[in-house]
Every structure is written in structure tokens, then in C-alpha cells.
Amino acid sequence: MNIKIKKIHPDAKIPQFAHKGDAGMDLYVPETVHLAPGERKSVPLGLGFEIPDGYVGIMSDKSGVSHKYGIKTYGGVIDSCYRGEIHAGVMNLSDAPYTFEKGHKIVQILIQTVEHPTVIEVDELTPSERGEGRFGSTGK
């Protein structure tokens, strides 16, 4: 499969896999971005994607940035029909400011297949062993 990528910002970096076997490609910031504690931003990444029909791009946290610094990614679905600039939604959940320097990794994108199921409205759902057990229903 090929993914066509267009540079919208002159300093944007083309995504790449850091290691053989990685599921996600790293995405980078083309300009320095500052996040105050509790602040959230939609950060333009300076790239447009052409994801093939039948696939989707899912943007997800960079685990190091998330675990070490409390930076959370949100709103990361890139549909195959979207051709505009990709933005990374990020929020600083920590009590310290954080800066992404120009060229730093901000999120990763995974390209995955999409299923389009037929939705059927019913009056009852088939019973299961779990039933309607919610959060914590399986114990500690």
C-alpha cells in the first residue's frame, strides 16, 4: 500500500517508522509549540494525507511523551476522503509547561483497515455471560 503525503508547511517532516516492526509512524511539529499546564491545542502538522479507500489513519499518543510528561492525544481519526492539513489534538495533563521544539515527535499515526458494518436496529440484544455488567464488574 502507498500513502501519498503532501507538504503544506515547508518545514514539515514526512512521517516515518522509528523501528522495523513499529505499528505507528511518527508525526512531527513543523514549528515550536508551547503547552501550559491544563492547556489543549489543535496543532497543525503541515501535511496532507491521501489514505486509500478502505483504510483510516488513527493518531495516538507517543508513549514516552504521554507517560513521562502527561501529554494526551485526542480526536485522532483521519478519514480516507479527507485531503486537508492534519492537526494533532493534544492536552497537557501535567502541572508543568511542556514545549515541543520544531521537528520533535508529537503523535503517531497507525493506518488500519475499516469495516463498514450493516447496522440493524433490534428490540433485544442476544444475552451474553457478562450481560450488562459495567465498570469494575469483573472485580479487582
User: Looking at the domain covering 4-113, what would its CATH class be?
Assistant: mainly beta
Euclidean distance between CA atoms 88 and 83, whole angstroms: 15
Residue identified by cell 502527561 is 70
pTM (whole model) above 0.75: yes
Give per-residue pLDDT as tens, 66-120. 999 999 999 889 999 999 999 999 999 999 999 999 999 999 999 999 999 999 9
Euclidean distance between CA atoms 36 and 117, whole angstroms: 41
Residue pair 78/3 in contact (Cβ under 8 Å)? The answer is no
pLDDT for 39 beyond 90: yes
Q: For residue 71, which phi and psi values (nearest 5 degrees)?
A: -95, 120
Domain boundaries, the chain: 4-113
Question: What pLDDT score does 134 carry?
Answer: 77
Chain centroid to Cα 67, Å, comes to 16
pLDDT for 131 beyond 90: no
